[in-house]
């Protein structure tokens, strides 16, 4: 080995030894506040640079190409400095992330977020409260409870109502179906599911949902032991809302077949169409048939604070339970959802007292342990994000943001309704529009529309979604950015039509050859 090589080898050895000996404490406490402040500034600088130079919502990178970047990442060997780790993160994540704040992102129910909620994320993560028991959260418990009470007031549920924050609509809908099942068994069969398990009649239980409802209802039925077959899909009307006459017929048919109707689940803002089921009429059927009524308002819940369209969700107060996702139409970061019941006693079906955590004596003393009404134990203080948003911005401004995207959807629909190359299926009640490019090439119409979405995504200039209606492929946009303009959205439609024409021409040539 040469002298230069020996020196280099010795230097590397000393550096490795120095790193091993110098291990700064990364535990967050009073001694590391300055370090955290510096690192946050560094991170904000990186984010600022990325946001300021961002021209489109996605880079268009393929999963295969991106996976190659991770091939040589050895997680057992750190980068040693925060700067190096941040540089790596820029390449592995920030460079190719999907950015919901870009006006050309209009695919799913992902909204841009208000920045007071981002500050709240930093605070809640730094303190790291766990919202299961009072002795782990203190004031955080009362902040969450006040938000639950406020939202219950917005729903117009009454003083007996209560709720709990959840990870989102899927968890909230699971809780709704759990309570509906257990309450039915208690009330109609004199059977305690929590103690004794499912009754013998459970194979006959039926839950009625719209054919446009969220897939989480089927998942919940499977998790709860009822199975997919317990879900009865009720046809929709011409506006993609649950057909009440069909609901009545489905319930009658179930009873005649010896089956047992348990609940009906209405949707206030379907994922595809944003349609709102006729809540008043459904509540009458549910009341007459003694069924639990749940409203999945994960999407439409923002109407609770709308300044102009609150009446579209009238009737929600007639439900027994409600799902709200604040991370959709209240412009909060994921995750921030909640589940509400008209009568708080129904939340007891998820209560279990453990001596080491939430003993019964604490409840009798009046100690508020939120774990008593949650299917989660350890739970983040996600309520702080909404709290900071309401205390900084106010419900009126948040509601105005939702009004703006509803109005934008109305303008877009009017602008493209008579376009001979575009077929629009719905007049938006919220901010979703389902449509497709029309081509003279009918044989490949579905494939053409599927390819339009894929090519837009590969290019990264705009991101839209796809769906199927009666077996046919359609495109979908969901507008949740209050700073997007009509002109920006119409430019995307022009791209869609241009791609559609190109694809139609290609398929025509293939068919002729």
- Which pLDDT tens digits describe the chain residue by residue (513 residues)? 555 556 555 555 555 555 555 567 899 999 999 999 999 999 999 999 999 999 999 999 999 999 999 999 999 999 989 999 999 999 999 999 999 999 999 999 999 999 999 999 999 999 999 999 899 999 999 999 999 999 999 999 999 999 999 999 999 999 999 999 999 999 999 999 999 999 999 999 999 999 999 989 999 999 999 999 999 999 999 999 999 999 999 999 999 999 999 999 999 999 999 999 999 999 999 999 999 999 999 999 999 999 999 999 999 999 999 999 999 999 999 999 999 999 999 998 888 887 677 777 787 878 888 989 999 989 999 999 999 999 999 999 999 999 999 999 999 999 999 999 999 999 999 999 999 999 878 889 999 999 999 999 999 999 999 999 999 999 999 999 999 999 999 999 999 999 999 999 888 888 776
Find the length of the chain. 513
Q: What residues pair up with 467 in beta bridges, in sequence order?
A: 474
Distance between CA 257 and CA 465 in Å, rounded?
A: 39
Biggest CA-to-CA distance, the chain: 94
Given this model, what pLDDT does residue 262 score? Answer: 98
Distance, CA of 217 to CA of 174 (rounded, Å): 7
pTM of the model: 0.92
Ordered by start, the domain boundaries in the chain are: 3-94, 119-388, 396-512
Q: Which two tokens stand for residue 418?
A: 């008579």
What is the reported pLDDT for 389? 98
Q: Report the C-alpha gap between 59 and 99 in whole angstroms.
A: 10
Burial class (CB in 10 A: 0-12, 13-18, 19+), 193: buried
CA atoms within 13 A on the CB side of 281: 12
Q: String of b and e for 380-416 (b: at least 16 CB within 10 Å)? A: bbbbbbbbbbbeebebebbbbbbbbbbbbbbebeeeb
455 close to 501: Cβ distance less than 8 angstroms: no
Alpha carbon separation from 218 to 74, 118, 265, 465 (Å, rounded) = 40, 33, 12, 22
CATH class as words, domain 119-388? alpha beta
Q: How far apart are CA 462 and CA 350, in angstroms?
A: 43
pLDDT at position 199, please?
Answer: 95
Q: Does the 396-512 domain belong in CATH 2.20.28.120? A: no
* 132: phi then psi, degrees, rounded to nearest 5: -95, -45
């Amino acid at each position: 080995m040469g002298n230069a090589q020996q020196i280099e080898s010795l230097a590397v050895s000393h550096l490795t030894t120095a790193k091993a000996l110098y291990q700064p404490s990364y535990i967050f406490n009073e001694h590391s506040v300055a370090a955290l402040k510096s690192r946050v500034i560094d991170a904000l600088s990186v984010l600022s640079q990325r946001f300021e130079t961002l021209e489109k919502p996605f880079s268009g990178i393929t999963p295969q190409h991106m996976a190659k970047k991770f091939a040589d990442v050895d997680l057992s060997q750190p980068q040693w400095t925060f700067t190096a780790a941040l540089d790596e993160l820029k390449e592995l994540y920030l460079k190719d992330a999907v950015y919901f704040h870009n006006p050309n992102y209009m695919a799913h129910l992902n909204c841009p977020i208000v920045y007071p909620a981002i500050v709240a994320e930093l605070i809640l993560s730094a303190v790291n409260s766990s919202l299961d028991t009072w002795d782990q959260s203190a004031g955080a418990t009362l902040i969450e409870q006040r938000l639950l009470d406020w939202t219950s007031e917005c729903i117009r549920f009454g003083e007996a109502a209560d709720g709990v924050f959840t990870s989102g609509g899927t968890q909230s809908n699971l809780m709704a179906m759990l309570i509906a099942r257990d309450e039915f068994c208690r009330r109609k069969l004199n059977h305690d599911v929590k103690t004794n398990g499912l009754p013998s009649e459970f194979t006959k239980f039926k839950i009625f949902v719209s054919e446009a409802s969220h897939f989480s209802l089927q998942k919940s039925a499977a998790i709860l032991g009822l199975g997919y077959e317990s879900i009865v899909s009720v046809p929709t009307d011409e506006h993609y809302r649950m057909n009440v006459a069909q609901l009545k017929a489905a319930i009658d048919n179930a009873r005649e077949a010896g089956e047992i109707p348990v609940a009906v689940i209405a949707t206030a803002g379907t994922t595809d169409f944003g349609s709102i089921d006729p809540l008043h009429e459904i509540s009458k059927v549910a009341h007459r048939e003694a069924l639990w009524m749940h409203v999945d308002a994960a999407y439409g819940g923002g109407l609770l604070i709308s300044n102009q369209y609150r009446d579209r969700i009238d009737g929600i107060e007639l439900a027994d339970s409600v799902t709200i996702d604040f991370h959709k139409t209240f412009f909060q970061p994921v995750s921030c959802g909640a589940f509400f019941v008209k009568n708080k006693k129904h939340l007891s079906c998820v209560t279990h007292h453990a001596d080491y955590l939430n003993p019964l004596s604490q409840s009798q003393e009046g100690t508020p342990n939120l774990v008593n009404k949650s299917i989660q134990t350890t739970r983040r203080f996600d309520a702080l994000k909404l709290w900071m948003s309401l205390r900084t911005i106010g419900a009126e401004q948040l509601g105005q943001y939702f009004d703006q995207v509803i109005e934008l959807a109305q303008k877009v629909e009017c602008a493209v309704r008579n376009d001979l190359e575009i077929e629009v299926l719905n007049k938006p009640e919220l901010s979703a529009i389902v449509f497709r490019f029309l081509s003279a090439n009918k044989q490949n119409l579905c494939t053409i529309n599927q390819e339009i979405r894929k090519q837009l995504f590969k290019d990264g200039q705009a991101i839209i979604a796809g769906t199927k209606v009666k077996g046919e492929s359609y495109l979908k946009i969901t507008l949740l950015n209050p700073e997007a303009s009509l002109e920006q959205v119409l430019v995307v439609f022009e791209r869609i039509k241009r791609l559609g024409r190109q694809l139609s021409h290609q398929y025509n040539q293939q068919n002729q050859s």
